Amino acid sequence: MAEVARRSLVVAIDGPAGAGKSTVSKRLTGALGYRLLDTGALYRCVALLAQRSSVEWTDEAALAKLAGSLKVNFRLEGEINRLEVSGEDLTDAIRKPDISTGASMVSSLPEVRQALLDLQRGLGAEGGVVVEGRDVGTVVFPNAEAKFYLTASDEVRAQRRYDELCANGETVDFESTLREMQERDERDSSRAVAPLTQADDAVLVDSSERSLDEVVQEMLDVVRDRESRPAS
């Protein structure tokens, strides 16, 4: 039988914290042989670099300048999406809880979002990329040919985040993990610019009651189907 010619797409995955986006994105990226662009990591970088140079997480002009000068490189190594910024590996440093709060704060600033918009579009321009974030299907790549909105219940999401932080050796309690996550969701969903929301043409995937394998398989089936369709 003749091979079906497949195209390399932009796959957009949006959803709230703890829905399983990052794990699912890595698996899907590996299965597709694509690159992975973690847009949340870019906001985290801005927050971290600002903290290092004593720039406040509310100083929009200084943060936008910083965002506009980022030189980033992602490299997927198995389950780890390594991030290098100007040659320095920041993979672990950007995952600390205070940087999560900083990333959420800097991401509410329009000038920061604008600076990172150009960077994200440049990084995804050639296709063959899975892009995960909050506004990927709605704002960054509105013409992406496969879009997903991945979610799960608050309790399930907080438990996953709690387990992840414990595994990383952080000292946290479940209640404050749940509360911080809900505050972050509220900020991400209610901000004026590019709030977290499901694109009209995104496939809704609820991972609360389903295994990782099931979720990845469902998404893989959708992407494979679209890869083999002619360009629209």
**Footprint of ligand DC (CB under 6 A):** 17, 39-41, 43-44, 100, 103-104, 107, 133-136, 184, 188
CB of 231 to ligand DC, least distance (A): 25
For ligand DC, which is the closer residue by CB, 19 or 223?
Answer: 19
CB of 221 to ligand DC, least distance (A): 25
CB of 121 to ligand DC, least distance (A): 12
For ligand DC, which is the closer residue by CB, 9 or 109?
Answer: 109
CB of 227 to ligand DC, least distance (A): 23
CB of 86 to ligand DC, least distance (A): 20
For ligand DC, which is the closer residue by CB, 164 or 224?
Answer: 164
For ligand DC, which is the closer residue by CB, 168 or 228?
Answer: 168
DSSP letters of the chain? -PPPP-PPPEEEEE--TTSSHHHHHHHHHHHHT-EEEEHHHHHHHHHHHHHHTT--TT-HHHHHHHHHT--EEEEEETTEEEEEETTEE-TTGGGSHHHHHHHHHHTT-HHHHHHHHHHHHHHHTTS-EEEEESSIIIII-TT-SEEEEEE--HHHHHHHHHHHHHHTT----HHHHHHHHHHHHHHHHH-SSS-S---TTPEEEE-TTS-HHHHHHHHHHHHHHHHTSPP-
For ligand DC, which is the closer residue by CB, 108 or 223?
Answer: 108
